[in-house]
Every structure is written in C-alpha cells, then in structure tokens.
Structure 1
C-alpha cells in the first residue's frame, strides 16, 4: 500500500456480545470477572517486542510514525521492527530461524497473510481484558477487521486508515482554461470534465483522468468482492462488476483521451509528471511521494454513483495484531490500545496519517502539521465509506487477472474480456486448491 506509484498504472456477528460498532461507544468489558477485566498494568521489567510487516514500510518511516511515540510512553519496552521483502528476510525465513514475532501489522489488502504462517490470533478476550473501546473507532474500519477473519474472530485492531481521493493538477486545468473539479461530482460529471482536458499541443498529449487500477478495484465503491463467498470462485463476469469496469475505467478513460496518449507514447500516463489532469489514488499518496511537494495540485472527493450519492471508496485500514506466538500478549495489546488513544490518534492525524478514531476534533486536525495544510484536506472525509465486502486470503491470487482485464476490456468486447478473466482466475484457484 505504501509503495510509490510511478505511473498511475492500469496494470491493476464477530464480537456481538462485546461491541456494536455502529451505534456508539460501548466499551468492551463484557461480563468478565472483575479480576480479569481490570486494566492490565504494563510491568516495570524490561521486555522486547518484535514487530513484523509485509508493507514495505521502512524502519525510518515506522519509527517516525509509531515507535518514537510508544518508546516515550513505555521506556521499559525495547521495540524491534523487522520489515521484510526488500529490507529483510521473509516471514517464513524468520519463523524457520525461530524469530519471535509479537505484533504483525499490515493493510487490509494483505493482512490475511497471517493465515499463511498461523500467526493469527483471535484477540476478542484480550480486547475485553484490556478494555479496548472499539466503539470509539470508525465503524467501517472495525467491520473491516471482522471481515478479514471471515467474521468470526478479531485478528487485528485498526490503527490508521486510507481511502481514495481525486487529485488534480491545477497547472493543466489553468493551461486549458477549465474550471477546477467540484467537491461533489458524479461519474458523469467527471467524464464531461475529462473530455475538456484530453488535449495535445506541439509536443505533448495530455489525459483527463487516470487511476491506479489495483486500488480502484480493491477499494471499489460498489463493495464488490473478488470471490463468491459460497463457492470461492471468481465473480468478475457478473453484471455488477461489468458496471464498475465501465464506470471507473472504460467510459472515463475513453472520455479522457487515453487512446491518443498510448498511441503516441506506447505506455500509460503519469500524473506526477504532469501527463494526466486528474488521478484517483490513495489519500496517503501526498505524504509518500516526494513529487507532491513541488506539483501544483489539490484534491476533491472521488465521484459518486447516481444511485449512491455521497458514498466513496471502501476504507483501507491498517491493522495491528497480537500474534498467536507472542510471549508478551498483554504488553503487545497495551501498545495497540495506546496507538488508538486520542493522544496518539491526534498526533498521527496532524502528520497526515488518516485516523481511525471517530472523533471530529481529531479528523479536523488532519494534516495540520504537514506541508499540505492549505490544501482541500477535508475532501478525505467528505464521502461515506462504502461497506467492505467479503475478503479471502485467495484475493491476492486473482487480483492480477482483474487488473489485466482493464486493459483487455479497452481493446475488445467487455463481456469477452471479463469472461476470459474469470476463466483464468478460476484456473488459478483450482490449481491452488489442488496443491
């Protein structure tokens, strides 16, 4: 989720006795014995907690956002962050080597990775024991945490969030004398705007709109799952998916003049190098990609569907979970509880990290201490979240076929493109099942 986007590419009743996420601030004490429900007191003995993530988040970034805060709060705890992928061994290699893992964190897109290594743990009792108030969090993020586990367990607690917004290049709008996009647009209005911005001059071809297909699919505002929950087969050729492809990709791409750009450049447009006027992407991008520091941009909420006004993308929360193998489960739970406190959520929000705490003052502080405090940052919170649909650990296996179908559908009949993608996805699923 935090990887740099280089080109706006087209390549891509748990806890019902404990919380009611949508109706306020019930605490999670439940009916536990008083001794168990009593808040855990972090001990004075020094301990070490090992934190692992597949996010690609660097040590420097993780320390700046999280560890520096908790180290100050809990000086007797030594924290060791072990990123994997580029900067370290894989989780499997860590486990094989006997590495202790106490906390695993990742975005909703790949949090189910914990299943592959049997690191997941139902945190329900820990949440009760430590009086963690899930009712104070954005309900959609808590719902998402339930869905990741299949709705029966709580493998993680949301700590920060993300969604999709529409970035726009003010210089290109000014160049072509087009009024800036509005805070509330429908997709039809975006298409009309895109037509005015798909232009060319003596040396360049410009595109009105582009997006990151992976994120547009993963966070689609129609709440469509990749797989059918009852059969674990691909759902891509269904009528709802067809409508979404037409809405978010095919119609706006054609209106934006994408064909002219790809014909000239034999590649896709890049918003960060001023080749596209509008770019639907993660609200965190402005704090990750250095190019936003020099680009003349602003943002608005993403367009909405006529039949669902005011509904934007799905939330894209990042969860922190206590692992099944941790030797310090209580201490790890206390750290996570502190991360969702108003104190920490306010500090994160001011930095430009989208909070999960459902608190207006915390939301209003979003980006106050950032370089972008004069931008239209309220756009991040304008739309309601679309509900998070069924998620499977197999989603990552088929996501590429959904992404590839965007390009295929632009060049052939959409029904054929989606049917072919479904067949390919089901072949992958069948091969995985037979391993």
Structure 2
C-alpha cells in the first residue's frame, strides 16, 4: 500500500512478538546457518496477509522436515528505522518483509545489504507471474532507483485505488453506476441535487492528495508516469495534467461534491462516512476492502476501477527480501516460492486482499473475485501509476498540506507552486 498510509496504520501495532514455530526431523541447506530459517514480517495479526504467511509457514514445515522456523512479528516502524543497522550485522533474518521504493528497498540494495534475486526469480518462474508494471518496485539499478534490471525483492500481493459504490443509494436516487468521467460527474451532480454530498474524503491524510494524483493521471500517459516517478523526463506542474487535477478538485469543492469541512479528517473518518451510508461514493485503496466486508451490514455495495482514467494509483505490495547476510538463502528462496504458490495466492484473495499471481476464478468469494479481477485488468493494461509521494523525500506531507490549502481556498497557481518546489529541487539534485 501507500508507504505513508502503512506507516500510520502500523505504527500502533504492539511491540515485536516472537512466535517460534518448530518442525521435527533433520536436515538443512546451510552449515553456517544451521537448520533454522528466520522470518520477519510486520502484517497485523489475523489480517489477510498475516493469515497467508502463517499458512506459508505451515506449508514450509511440511515440505522441510527438520528445519526450525523462528518467526518475529515486527512493526513497520521497527523495521523501517533499524533495517540498515540490523541487515549489516550477523543478526539479520534470512527473509523479511520490507517496503518498496527508492528510499527503502532501493537504498538497501544500493548499500549492498540485499541479495540479488534476479536469476533465482527467473529460475523459479516468479518473473513470469508478475506483470511489468507490478515488478517495477521490485527491481533496482546501481543507484537504487526502482525499475532497474536487478530484482532485489519479490511482491506477493497488489494494491490499488478504486471506486466503492453504495448500490442501495444509487438505486434509491435513480443514479447509474458510472462508466466514464462524464457519467461519474453526472452521478455527483444528481446526488448533490438530492441534498447529498456524494464523495467521502479526508483532507488531513493520504485520500485527499491521492485525489489530486488520480485526476492528474486521468490526463496522463505512461510516459508521463515514468517521467514523474523516475525523473527520466521533465514534469511541468503548470501543464495540463496537474492543472486539470487542481482545477477539477477546486470545482468539485465549489459544487459541494466534496465537503470543505472534511479538511481535517483522517482516513478512518472517511471510511466511516461510507460505512454509515452518509456518502454514496468512496474512491480509495483496496486496503479498506476487508474492513468493509466486515463492517457494512445495512446496504449492498460494489467496487469498480475508477471510470475516469485508464491509470490509477497502485503497485505491487511490499517485498520479501533476502538480506545479504542471510545464513540460509536457499531456505529463504523456498519460503518465498511457497508464498507465490496457487494455494497461498488463493488464500490471500479469499481473505479480502489482492494476490499478485492468482486468477480471479481461483477466488470463491464473489466480492473478492470482483476485486481481484479489477486488479488483474489493471496489470494486463499496464494501468498501475504508483503513488504521488514516491519521488521526493518528505513529499507526502507536502501533498497533504497543498490539498488542505486548496480546500481552505488557495488558488490554483499557489497550490501548483507548492507541490512543484520540492519535486523540482529533488530533480535538480540528481544532475
């Protein structure tokens, strides 16, 4: 998911919990590492991914009798803050979950702290299961920039921003589910005419800034995305993409499609607007999907890819990486291979997340099958545009502040100037 969103969501997790899981028997692939595989991840207990990794551990035990597994559940912040130090020591785990991006996995790969998995990924068929766009955050060049030619991590799931619709409200007010931007704006107008603010929003969190990028993507192509994310070409923040985004967001504010009072809200407040039936449309990440399946009891709802753009925010999920100091790299590769198996991929999907290598017909839950199909469609069409805060350090806070200024009445030029400045400074520093 968006790294900034994950940082908020996982910072409140409990301190690390160590759960040793041991199989009986004998055998190992590494004399230096003994017969122990050390696994770290930071997924919340009982979540879709945590359940999938638990199942992968059990499968590993069955297929590797005699190998002891030492599993430690960390928080995102614990790994983020200490990864460089830990991975540069003999205390490094054999395989761990780590965040993708230039400032995280890219930095560790540049520092020589991660194992190059390029040949292994080809030999084990992982590269054929992951689309080109989903693989970009797993591959880095010598500078630690994503999209390079070497694989330093393997993603097992995907994430993307899509539309959630309250079907009962659409039926009640005679509004059709949108299929393009024109019908989307028509739906917004009809709900507002009925006295309903149509769009859930949160100005003090990632959702509002995601809207700006999503609207910019609706006027962009893949070259623009590549230029923006990798500084491979110039980006004009006063050009058609960002100008359309800010002007449209401002227009929707003025028309009441967004509520200006949402300027101080967080993501959880936004989801409550949708779950409570107060707002008929929420455009947000698939990371809300599992909670909606549990929490929404009083109305029927559906999902669809955002109708206004062929490209949306999204990427592969976080990565399984093998530290360079891993004592059991072969066992680590075996574990990753299990997480890519049809059994585990289907489990991810049926628990409400998005497997990166499962076919929709492997998912038995109808709503989950729709979700997986929507992500699969984006992978096939190369429709993942990544996230707006990835290019520059600290850019997440800049985007949130700029969006709040827009919601508080700032003009288009000042907002564009605000988001341009740190990006252009980062771009200039690379030359």
TM-score w.r.t. the length of structure 1 is 0.70
Query: What does residue 162 of structure 1 align with?
Result: 159
Evaluate the alpha carbon distance shift between residue 236 and residue 292 of structure 1 in structure 2; reply closer, same or farther with a 3 A threshold: farther
Shift of 1:80: 1.2
| Mapped partners of 2:388, 2:169: distance in 1 | 38
Instruction: Map Cα deviations across residues 78-129 of structure 1 (whole Å, 9 max, x no partner).
Output: 0413322467894257568863233232454x5741345543332113334x
1:294 aligns with 2:297: yes
| Mapped partners of 1:301, 1:123: distance in 2 | 35
| Mapped partners of 2:369, 2:55: distance in 1 | 27
1:81 to 59, 72, 89: 72
2:184 to 186, 190, 194: 190
2:139 to 146, 157, 161: 146
Query: What does residue 329 of structure 1 align with?
Result: 329
SS of the aligned residue for 1:165 comes to: strand
1:58 aligns with 2:40: no
Shift of 1:160: 0.8
Query: What does residue 136 of structure 1 align with?
Result: 129
SS of the aligned residue for 2:139 comes to: helix
Shift of 1:60: 3.9
Query: What does residue 105 of structure 1 align with?
Result: 97
Q: Comparing 375-384 with 276-285, which one deviates more in the overlay?
A: 375-384
User: 1:396-411 residue pairs with structure 2 within 5 A?
Assistant: 396-410=393-407, 411=409
SS of the aligned residue for 1:81 comes to: strand
Query: What does residue 257 of structure 2 align with?
Result: 257
Query: What does residue 421 of structure 2 align with?
Result: 423
Contact 2:97/2:318 (<8 A) preserved: yes
Query: What does residue 240 of structure 1 align with?
Result: 241
| Mapped partners of 1:415, 1:363: distance in 2 | 44
User: 1:167-178 residue pairs with structure 2 within 5 A?
Assistant: 167-175=164-172, 177-178=173-174
Shift of 1:275: 3.0
Contact 1:405/1:421 (<8 A) preserved: yes
Query: What does residue 46 of structure 1 align with?
Result: 35
| Mapped partners of 1:389, 1:369: distance in 2 | 27
Q: Which runs of 5+ in 2 are unaligned?
A: 9-26
Shift of 1:72: 2.6
| Mapped partners of 1:282, 1:215: distance in 2 | 10
| Mapped partners of 1:376, 1:342: distance in 2 | 17
Evaluate the alpha carbon distance shift between residue 198 and residue 351 of structure 1 in structure 2; reply closer, same or farther with a 3 A threshold: same
1:282 aligns with 2:279: no
Q: Which runs of 5+ in 1 are unaligned?
A: 7-40
Q: Comparing 399-408 with 84-93, which one deviates more in the overlay?
A: 84-93
Shift of 1:287: 0.8
TM-score w.r.t. the length of structure 2 is 0.70
Query: What does residue 17 of structure 2 align with?
Result: none
Contact 2:170/2:280 (<8 A) preserved: yes
Evaluate the alpha carbon distance shift between residue 343 and residue 227 of structure 1 in structure 2; reply closer, same or farther with a 3 A threshold: closer
- Count of equivalent residues: 374
| Mapped partners of 2:401, 2:165: distance in 1 | 25
Contact 2:275/2:295 (<8 A) preserved: yes
Contact 2:322/2:329 (<8 A) preserved: yes
User: 1:3-14 residue pairs with structure 2 within 5 A?
Assistant: none
| Mapped partners of 2:292, 2:70: distance in 1 | 27
Shift of 1:74: 2.7
| Mapped partners of 1:400, 1:156: distance in 2 | 27
1:179 aligns with 2:168: no
SS of the aligned residue for 1:281 comes to: strand
Query: What does residue 273 of structure 1 align with?
Result: 276
Query: What does residue 207 of structure 1 align with?
Result: 198
Evaluate the alpha carbon distance shift between residue 273 and residue 422 of structure 1 in structure 2; reply closer, same or farther with a 3 A threshold: same
SS of the aligned residue for 1:395 comes to: coil
Q: Which has the higher helix share?
A: 2
